Structure 1
Amino acid sequence: MAYIAEKFPMTRVLNVEYTHLTPYTFTSKLRDLELPESKVKDIYSAKMSANLNLITKQKWVLGTNLNYRYISASTEMSDPAGLQDFRGTEDYHYHSESLSLTYFSRWFGRMMVYSASASLDGSEKHFERLRGIATATMVLKADANTKMTVGILVVIDPTVQTPFIPAFTYEHKFNRGFVADIILPKSVYIRKKITENGRLSIGSELDLTSFYLYNIGNENKKHEFRQIEINSGLMYEHYLGNSFVATLKAGAKSMMRSRVFEKSASYGSYIFEARSQTAFYVNVGLSFNPFIKKNSGTIISAV
């Protein structure tokens, strides 16, 4: 299975990113108590990931995914009575590791892709949560101009409120080099190749920021912070040669939901919730894909 004429594969074997956000204010609620408006003065994150195929056979692939994210945030917050200001910088570490099995078959003459994965995440202190994900995807169309699939994703995790998520992907090549690239519920992009080795995209992407908190207040319990985000803006990718791709992203980050809940509870049973203003972000990245190789003038990227 290969994506042809693709210098910018969706799955990068090795990837490093740095993101910086502009300051923004937020309102919040601790249990049923409304808190004064607060401000995030400075926040940035560094992210590293690796996607490796361990065993590849004709009908199945065993792979692993490794992720690490570091976040540094400087905040100004007031107590509920407005009598004291709290200023400080906190650092957070989050990592996840997963093992996945992908199987290819046919059903009523159509290509089917099944996958199952188990992931373990945590912080610099402990491993925290074990999750499972299973998917089934049917390829509806795949030719030189259009690729379309439909499927279902099942999440095995007591913290999620929606364990069943429908999935849909659509890629279509228009005239003058424009490409519609839709992966629901993750992203919607319009892409355009502007140079031999450069591609410009405009659109939106769903993202998630998560990390674990310890000993909040006087509670000797573990909590998780989880924030759902939508990044909208421009992305430029440039193939540097020798399997390296540089990426620059910029735009607006909308933080839809920010919640803190006990590790043993669900995302809906939160003790803290924040509603944030939109912030602007800049992201730079560098990825390495050693499986890109030239074949008769065409770049082949094995995914």
Structure 2
Amino acid sequence: MSRTFLKMNGLGNDFVVIETQTQSFEPTPEEIRKIAKRGEGGVGCDQVIAIDPPRAEGASAYVRFWNSDGDEIGACGNGTRCVAWLLMQSSGKDAVSFDTEGGRLSGVMAGENLVTVDMGQPGLDWTQIPLSEEMNTERVELQVGPIDAPLVHTPVCVSMGNPHVVFFVDAPVTDEFATKTGSLVEHHPLFPEGVNVGFAHVQSRDHIRLKVWERGAGLTAACGTGACAAQVAAVRRGLTDRKARVEFESGSLVIEWRERDGHVIMTGPVSMDFAGKLPDSEGVAA
């Protein structure tokens, strides 16, 4: 039996979403790679998302995420907004909570095709990222390039349910720079589980321009958890106020690192692209 899916995106960061209420979805890494591959029979996406029935009281669903390389991950910010929007549409409610490997998340409708999600508290300790050795995550001893003239250096590390390293740069970086540098840092020995790599240019106290090389997915149009991590990193360094607009080439997210409870609040758009059916495969229980 073919499984149905929805194709969605948040700021161009695109997803194949599979609801498992009436269909089983236990994919192998190879199956995820086939679904995510653009062209040649794949649907094409940055991440695959499964919305499962809830496993705990108070949740509307349990949600799983995979990167396009087949690895399961704990969180995906733009995907979280898409999931929250779907669950609110199906329930007719303006607020929803659901569980992930990274913890419980919640969302509220903020306007037409606009969703605000509570991404919870960031992980700031070196064990939460995790790093391979004890280090101050506000100023990590890492640089890329020549010792006397590094391309980027002394980043901030933040976990948003997945590991992020944020480099602050003097000017917005090119795709070529982000790809070359991000791919080097992603598998650096300091990050035993790999890392998402952000390049943040602070334009003002309420405006960051950002480009993210995603662990297991590469350069993407936008990264929700990356935007959250960049804002948290900027606040930790005293570079922005608690609330700022994080701008990608594809659009912006509004991120607030709330002072009263330490939660990171993200507001941004969602878009439904189309529905379809996945081809049968031996790697997936149907």
The two structures have a TM-score, normalised by structure 2, of 0.30
More strand by share: 1
Instruction: Return the index of the structure with the highest Cα Rg.
Output: 1
More helix by share: 2
* Greater RCO structure (CA 8 Å; 6+ sep): 2
